[in-house]
Structure 1
Amino acid sequence: MPEPMYPPITAEEELMPVADPAGRRSAGRPPRVTREAIAEAALRLGPDRATLMTIGRALGVDHSTLYRHVKGRDDLMSAAVDRALDGVGWQRGAAEDWRAYLVRVSETVWDLYERYPGVAETIRALEATPPSVVHAFAAMCDELAGAGFSGSDAMLVVDSIMDMTNDSAVGWRRLAGASANGTTVAEAMRRSWEAEFAAEGTGNSVAAAMAGVIAGEPRHWWRRKLDLLLDGAAGLLARKSG
C-alpha cells in the first residue's frame, strides 16, 4: 500500500486555528493540508470517486479535517475545477488573431477534459459556477471585444464555443461507457443507426456517415463543430465592421 502524501495530523494540530478568509494566518504551525492539495487529490481520484472520505484517505488525514478548507462536496468540486483550469492562458498573445486565440483556448480546454475525465460533467452539474470559469469567461469576452466584437457578440461567441465543447466532451465520454448489451454505448448507438434503415431494406448515406462519426475520433468531429462556430463568429464581426 503506498504511503500517504501527507502524514496524519496530530490531535494537537487538529486544534490549531487556520488562516481566515482574508488570508491572515493565525499563530502556530501551518496546516499540512491545503485547499490546493485537496483539489489535486480530487482530480487524481476523478470526480466520480472523489469524496471527502476518499480524499481524506488519500491525504492521510481524517475527512473531518478537510472541512477546514472546503465546505462540502460542491465546494470540493469547485476547487477541483479551479485547479484544473489553473495555468490556462486566457489572454490573447501578441501574434494571435482572434480566431487563433479561440482555437488555442478551446484546444486547451478539450485537453483538460480528456486529462481529467468528469470535470466537464462537474462544471455542468454544479449549482454555482466555479470562480475560475467566471474569470475565464470574462477574460475571453474582453479579448474578443479588444479584437473588434461588440460586447454581446463576444459573449455569444464565447458561450457558444464553451457550451459546445462541454457538451461534446460529456457526450463522447458517455459513448465510451458500457451499454446494457455488453458493448460500448458508441457501438450500440452505431448499430442502431445502421439497423434503422437496414430493417427497411434501404441504405442511407446520412445513417452511414453518422455511424462513421460515432466510431471515429472525438476530437476530429468536435473540431469541425468548432470551425463552424468560428465561421459564424467571423460573420458577426464582418457585419459589425460593414
Structure 2
Amino acid sequence: MSDAAPSTRRGRGTRAGLDTEAIVAAARGLDPDELTMQEVATALGVDRKALNHHVTDRESLLELLAIDAVRARFDAVDLDLGESWQDACRAYAENMWHSLVDTGQWLAYFRFTSPSDLALAGPAEVIAERMLAAGLDRVTVSRAMHLLVTICRGFAQDAVIGAREGGHPQIEALRATFAAERQGYPALRDLVDARVDDNGAAQFAFDLDAFIAAIERLAP
C-alpha cells in the first residue's frame, strides 16, 4: 500500500469551491500575453476542467479580466452626470476614456458583453433616457452611443500605444514619412507641425464637442 500523501488538488465543477470572482482574482496579477487556463487552475489548486464551469475559454477569461480592470477604475470615481444628456455624455466619456487607458495591457481584450458585466451600464442608461426624453429616436440614440464609445476606445488605444512608443503612433509615422519624402504635401506638413502633443486631451475635447454638436442637430 502506498504511503503517498493524497493530492491537494480539488475536483471539478462547483465542488471545487470556485466562482467567477475567485478565478478573476487568481488571474488578475498574471501577464495577459502569457496567461493560460492551466496557469490559473494551478494557482487555484484545481483541475483545469473545473474552470470551464465558469469560464469557457482563455478568450472569455481575458475579457473578464479586462472588464474587472475597467470596473475598478470606473467605480473609483464619483461620477457627476449633470442635468442634461450633453452633461452626461461629457462626464461618461471622460471617465470611460481614462478608465480604458488605465487598463493598460488589458485594453485589447475589453469587450462590451452584457450590462451585468459592466459598471459603465448605469451611466449609459442615464444618457439613453435623457436622449430619448429630448426627442431623439431609438435608432439615433443607439448609433450615437455606439459612436461615443468608439471615440473613447479609439483614444484610449492611441494613448496606450503612444505611452509604449513615445508618442502618438499615427502622428509620429506621418512626421517620419514627410521627413523622408522631403517634398510635396505642404498643407499636410503644416497640419502635422501645428499639432500640439498633449497626450490627446485637446483632440479628445474637440471630438467630444463635435459629437455633441452633431447629435444636437439631429434632435427635433
TM over 0.5: yes
Matched position secondary structure for 2:104: coil
Question: Quick one: structure 1 residues 37 and 105, their matched pair in 2 at CA, closer, same or farther if it must change by over 3 Å?
Answer: farther
Query: Residue 149 of structure 2: SS of its match in structure 1?
Result: helix
Report how far residue 111 of structure 1 moved.
1.6
Bigger relative contact order, structure 1 or 2 (CA pairs below 8 A, ≥6 apart): 2
Deviates more, 1:212-221 or 1:142-151: 212-221
Number of residue pairs matched by the alignment: 204
What does 1:1-242 correspond to in 2, within 5 Å? 10-11=8-9, 13-14=10-11, 17-18=13-14, 31=17, 33-45=18-30, 47-56=32-41, 59-62=43-46, 64=48, 65-86=50-71, 88=74, 95-123=82-110, 129-132=112-115, 136=121, 139=125, 140-178=127-165, 186=169, 188-189=172-173, 191-195=175-179, 199-200=182-183, 204=186, 206-211=188-193, 213=195, 215-237=197-219, 240=220
TM-score by length of structure 1 reads 0.65
Q: Is the 8 A contact 1:168 1:222 kept in 2?
A: yes
Unpaired stretches in structure 1, ≥5 consecutive residues: 1-8, 19-27
- Aligned alpha-carbon RMSD (Å): 3.7
Overall identity of the aligned pairs, in %: 16
Q: 1:212 to 1:42 in 2, by over 3 A?
A: farther
Deviation at 1:110, TM superposition (A): 1.0
**8 Å Cα contact 1:99/1:230 also seen in 2:** yes
